Amino acid sequence: MPPGIIDTMPPANPPVVGVAFVGAGRDVLAPHQVLDEPEHLDHLRVGHGERGGLEDLQPRLVLAPVNRNYTFPGGVGDPSAVACGEHLYVFYGEYGYPGEYAPGTWNGEVEAAGQCISVARIALADLDSPTGAARRWDGRAFAAPHDGVGAPIATLQIPAQDGGGPVSAGDRSFHWGPSVSWNAHLQGWVMTFGGVDSEFWAGDSVWLSLNPHRDLGAGANSQDWSPPQLLLRKPGHTLWYPSLQPLDGPDGVAERHTSVKLGRRARLWVKDLGPSVHRYLSEHIVEFHR
């Protein structure tokens, strides 16, 4: 199959991957707060022609010769957005320097401390005029500006002793590319993401993390993700953009499952960059147990 073609033909008997839900129990809400599920938007309309969302400006980009990853010098990207309460929560990859970059003062540990998967939010009421309205998590609250320095989700960072390090190094590991969905079976949030292990953004693994809190806006709930669990490894391949998608059976249709609202079983999709063929395909069904 040529590169870029979506393989929509699932295998006859795809393997089932069992995943146990870990972490704290379900939050107890006051009776007037209890919902069957978090609110999700079927459609999002963002102000036409405006610059919205998140951005890292030129001073935060790590340039050559310090940058040796042979891809790009930083920035934000690969987002996944879910609506919860009165906000849209945007999970994204954070690849820039957490401050102003200069070759003479660059520090690899400082760079790595500010990178991985981060989250910001914007009020749903601001989506018609989003410029500058998003706020990044700054370590204590959603208070950093849309183009400021935030704080990544600490539990998803890879420690240096386990091979973790700055994006610019080219020979260290980090997690990236989140895809977030509400899981009605677990009554919690599920995130899948990739891992980079070498230059040219190469990595052969897909990871999973869980968040038990219905309300992402309360306290530091948006940061309370379980340590990454290895979901899939495919040696000799590079795996990008993993996401969970609904099955097309009657249960999924009846429950109105979507890419941001799933149940006990979901199909794992990933872009598979093999030795000779690149495809976006699904070879596995993920089954959650609680």
Tens of pLDDT along 199-215? 999 999 999 999 999 99
Answer whether residue 70 is part of any domain. yes
Region 109-128: mean pLDDT is 96
Statement: residue 41 has pLDDT above 60: no
Residue 160 falls within a domain, yes or no? yes
Band of residue 28 on the pLDDT scale cut at 50, 70, 90? very low
- The strands making up 142-145's β-sheet, listed across from edge to edge, are 76-84, 87-94, 116-123, 135-137, 142-145
Report how far residue 150's alpha carbon sits from residue 211's, in angstroms, rounded to the nearest whole number: 20
Residue 16 above 90 pLDDT? no
Judge whether residue 119 has pLDDT over 90. Answer: yes
Query: What's at 13, amino acid-wise?
Result: N
- Using the predicted structure, report yes or no on whether residue 32 has a pLDDT greater than 70: no
Minimum mean pLDDT among 89-93, 129-133, 242-246, 247-251: which range?
Answer: 247-251
What pLDDT, in 10s, does the model give residues 85-94?
999 999 999 9
Residue 27, pLDDT above cutoff 90 = no
Residue 271 included in any domain: yes
Name, in order, each residue with C-beta under 8 angstroms of 250's C-beta and a sequence gap of 6 or more: none
Question: How far does Cα 4 stand from its chain's mean position?
Answer: 22
Going by their DSSP bridges, the two strands 76-84 and 16-20 should be labelled as: unpaired
> Does residue 13 have a pLDDT over 60?
no
20: containing domain: 16-289
Q: How many domains does the chain have?
A: 1
Residue 2 lies in a domain: no
Q: Residue 23 in 3-state DSSP? A: coil
Answer yes or no: is 1 within a domain.
no
The verdict on residue 5 lying in a domain is: no
Comparison of pLDDT for 91 and 33, the residue scoring more: 91
- Quick one: what percent of the chain has pLDDT higher than 90? 76
The C-alpha torsion from 197 through 177 and 158 to 76, rounded to 10°, is 100
The vertex-258 CA angle with 127 and 79, nearest 5°, equals: 50
Query: Looking at this protein, which amino acid is placed at residue 184?
Result: A
Maximum separation of any 2 CA atoms in the chain, in Å: 60
234: confidence class by pLDDT, cuts 50, 70, 90: very high
- More reliable by pLDDT, 62 or 44: 62
